[in-house]
Amino acid sequence: MSRFQAQSNAVLDEELDRLRERLGLRQNQRADLLREIALLASWVVRQAEAGRSIEARRGRDVEALESPLLDRLRQRGRAGIVGRIELTDLEVERLAEVLDRGFSPTPALRKVLSRIAEPRRRPPKLRFKGGAA
Amino acid sequence: MLDRRHRPLLRDFRNQHESLVDYLKRYALRHPEKDLLARTFLAIDVSSGRERLAGYFTLATASVERSSLSPIPPLDRLPRFPIPAVLLARLAVDERAQGQGLGRFLFEEALGLTLQLARTGPVAFRLFVTDAIDETAARFYDRFGLARLGEGYPCRMVLDLKPLVRRRAPLDTAVRSLRIPGPKISATRRALRAIRGDRQATPEPGMTSSSSRKR
């Protein structure tokens, strides 16, 4: 273990001990402390992932939680391109219904499909409302 | 397809949803070039004698997964998770050009490119997914048969691509044309090239594809 790491660990241990005391936990409840911290941290991360900022408010006093890591998560949330789409159980059930339905395209979808296959298809002629920008 | 030459056009784009403008200005160029996350396709209007960005859409690949591991009874009907999908990540029309059919045209292009990829590309996709930003957008996608999976907004909506790309699709003019290789497929490709920006495609007077613009 490097000297820096040893020092960091000591500082971290001290910090955790102080936190344990403030939360009214006993010395043998370190695992409980870590579990609570993990719960709180995952809530914070979830909010940041959803693009939300976290603020402490009391009257007019507002203090924002600032962290470069959370900023990065929020940025990723704002960019909004997801490679992974997670469905809830309800959404999965609805998806099962959709896939079970068979092929019954709406009239608009039929039109879209026939237009896609149309070689002379052209974009609509446009008129910008409100004149030149 | 959007590239650096289009940067000046992006500044003037207006839409009632700030996130759609923000995406275009901040991420649309970065995603295909740096992050390799998504590609954006533009519709550029030249009817006023100068080029104006009238609308855009962004496509990305996605993997549809379950957030919980608990078993669900009707799971047998589903393909195995994760399900490969094409995500229509953004579709927007400049607010000054709305109500003239450009949104529908962009949707056709997005679905056309997706079907082409799902049909003849090197990988397979089962779903076409989008997140409708509000009720107006959800109603727009409802018309094209996308099913709502959620209640709130943005509302996740899906279209099953399987019947549209499989070999023995029900007899339907459009589906049949998409299935048959040869002249009809070539015709489809020619139509799709119009927005992708092939120089040989003849753009409509008043509209141009992104790469046929003058340098």
Q: Are A108 and B145 in contact (CB under 8 A)?
A: yes
**Residue A34 forms part of a structural domain:** yes
3-state DSSP of A33-65: HHHHHHHHHHHHHHHHHCCCCCEEEECCEEEEC
Domain of residue A69: give its range: 3-116
Q: What is the pLDDT of residue B44?
A: 93
**Predicted ipTM > 0.95:** no
Highest mean pLDDT among A46-50, A96-100, B69-73, B165-169: A96-100
The pLDDT assigned to B206 comes to 40
What structural domains does chain B harbor?
A: 4-64+77-212 (3.40.630.30)
- The answer on pLDDT for B212 being more than 60 is no
pLDDT of residue A70: 83
Comparing CB atoms, the residue among A83, A92, A128 nearest residue B45 is A128
Residues of chain A with pLDDT under 50: 133
Region B161-184: mean pLDDT is 49
Residue A122 domain-assigned (yes or no): no
Pairing of strands B38-45, B207-208: antiparallel
- Evaluate the CA torsion angle A78, A84, A87, A93 in order and state its sign: positive
Q: Which residue of A has its CA nearest to B76?
A: A96
Q: In this complex, do A110 and B172 lie within 8 Å of one another by their Cβ atoms?
A: yes
A61 lies in some domain: yes
What is the pLDDT averaged over residues B9-24?
A: 91
Q: Is residue A42 part of a domain?
A: yes
Cβ contact (<8 Å) for B75 and A82? Answer: no
pTM of the model: 0.65
Look at residue A125 and tell me if it is in a domain.
no
CB contact under 8 A, B174 and A82: no
Half-sphere exposure of B81 (CA within 13 A, CB side): 19
Q: Which residues of A touch B104 (CB under 8 A)?
A: 112
Strand partners, B61: B86
Residue A121 is assigned to a structural domain of this protein: no
For residue B175, is pLDDT > 50? Answer: no
Q: What is the mean pLDDT of residues B122-130?
A: 92
Q: Note the pLDDT of residue A71.
A: 77
The average pLDDT across B63-81 equals 72
pLDDT at residue A31, rounded to an integer: 92
Percentage of chain B lying above the pLDDT 90 cut: 43
d(CA B209, CA B106): 12
Mean predicted lDDT score pLDDT of chain B: 77
Strand partners, B38: B60
Q: Considering the domain boundaries, does residue A106 fall inside one?
A: yes
Lowest mean pLDDT among A32-41, B49-58, B116-125, B159-168: B159-168
Contacts of A129 in chain B (CB under 8 A): 96-97
CB spacing of B62 vs A128 below 8 angstroms: no
How many domains does the structure of chain A reveal?
1
Res B166: pLDDT: 72
Please say if the pLDDT value at position B17 is more than 60.
yes
Domain-located, residue A32: yes
Q: Which residues from A are below 8 Å from B80, CB to CB? A: none
Distance CA B120, CA B179 (A): 10
Paired tokens of B176: 């049949």
Mean pLDDT of B2-14: 88
What pLDDT score was predicted for residue B202?
Answer: 38
